Chain A
């Protein structure tokens, strides 16, 4: 086990190094020179240029530059935003809580709903419920998340005017305490529903196929032959074995959500990192874009590492 954890942590570290390297390579091979990329194509301030050249050691050979870049990045210095003239890392951390709120809420809800749907479909295989759930999940799998969000907006801003379709709070009022929480929850309903619907197929598929797989194993047949009640077999034996793959799926889903949430935040004008991404794209604010990419990649690498180790602990058969 210790060996496995050690190996997995090492892979995690290599992954993070590769992410930094990709970023470094991109800055260097992008059209135009790196300084221009970092300070904006339109600005030409000799002082700023000199400062950037000094900071990244741009007169040094490439390998030295790479080390300087790594050192800065590992210290948490991801550069300065061209547009806001503020440290990128600060801008991102400010927006992070709103994003995490969306990601975690929808991750947990989709895990519950998708898995329950999968289990029901597997236990009643080929029934009408199974057909409906499977078809629903198949179609949802093909739906672009942002378009689904737009459909909700069409529906709720024109027909059903009961839910807010924009932002995180009602800016015309200044609620405090419970009223504030309720306001945020109301604003969360549509973005979270979109993300949950998009995630359901992932869990549904895994839950259904792993329950079916376990049900068809010999030991379940033996248990049935002993006359044990179907309900008891399921609760005691099938469920425990079938739920394991969901752990890995949860990791994959979180990784997807961390990047996928950007689109949904933009659709619903949610004040998280998504807004930052959109302005950074429109204003060609590359340091900010790169900083967001780094933070996303590192958090995904760390999360996948934790999930893998957790999985190995839960399932002693798994050792890579």
Chain B
């Protein structure tokens, strides 16, 4: 296990990065020099001015502290939306692959169709109609990004149901739902987990894009909203938008590294050329 992690650079740095992000998440109040929800007297301070490491915005909020707290928002969005999308994908894909035949044909066609829909704009439409609370954002991202997970799970289920241990369980008289939830899904989970990691990266980017369009939750601090706000101060206070973007790039890269690393470990044969 440890050897595998050390041998695959992407997996190694991915795991290291996740540990780093989780510590920022957990220790935010300790790391952040100020409470970013408090407005201060130092308005639009530059880098290092009055002890503000990365400056302040027009409300006098400390940019460095905002970035630390923004990590909480991004990770929450990533994890919750990925859980929803993973769960739906696993169930639909599992049923399609396990039952096969006409069920599979119909479900596969549905999966293909949903893969063709422009997800981002659908999310945008729903958020603007239903309100921009961060929970809505998480749920809608989860509800619209399941098809890829379903496709992967379906492939796994198709091959798993032919395996001897599943046949043995069938012979033992276990019924279909038992087979599906006890044998097929747990054994076919790994590709979905790897894909979900990439899905988390995309969820963070989606949340940022929504915030940039003014559809972010005004009650929380998020990197996307910092960029949105910083847009008006590009020439006078570039640090507001700049560092929030760097935070997004680092976090998303970490999730991509982890996803690619997990993929390599899962099918070492296919790793040629995939390490791009």
Contact = CB atoms under 8 A, between A and B. Distances in A.
A154 B238 contact: yes
B227 interface: yes
Interface stretch (A43-51, A76-84, A87-95, A289-297): A289-297
Interface string B244-276: 110011101100100000000000000011111
Nearest to B257: A138
Interface residues of B, number: 47
B130 A137 contact: no
Interface string B193-236: 00000000100010011001111000000001001001100110
B249 A139 contact: yes
Contacts of A263: 209, 212-213
B118 A259 contact: yes
A290 B125 contact: yes
Nearest to B10: A138
Given A30-B130, A143-B249, A144-B248, A209 B117 contact: no
Contacts of B201: 142
A134 B272 CA distance: 14
A92 B3 CA distance: 57
Given A37-B129, A289-B125, A15 B241 contact: no
Interface in A150-175: 150-151, 153-154, 157-158
Contacts of A69: none
B234 A150 contact: yes
Contact of B120 (A15, A210, A259, A304): A259
Contact of B234 (A26, A138, A154, A290): A154
Which 5 A-B residue pairings sit nearest by Cβ, starting from the closest?
A209-B273, A147-B245, A142-B252, A212-B273, A142-B253
Interface of A: 11, 14-15, 18-19, 22, 26, 30-31, 37, 121-122, 134, 137-139, 141-147, 150-151, 153-154, 157-158, 204-205, 208-210, 212-213, 216, 255, 258-260, 262-263, 266-267, 277-278, 281-282, 284, 286, 289-290, 292-293, 296-297, 300-301, 304
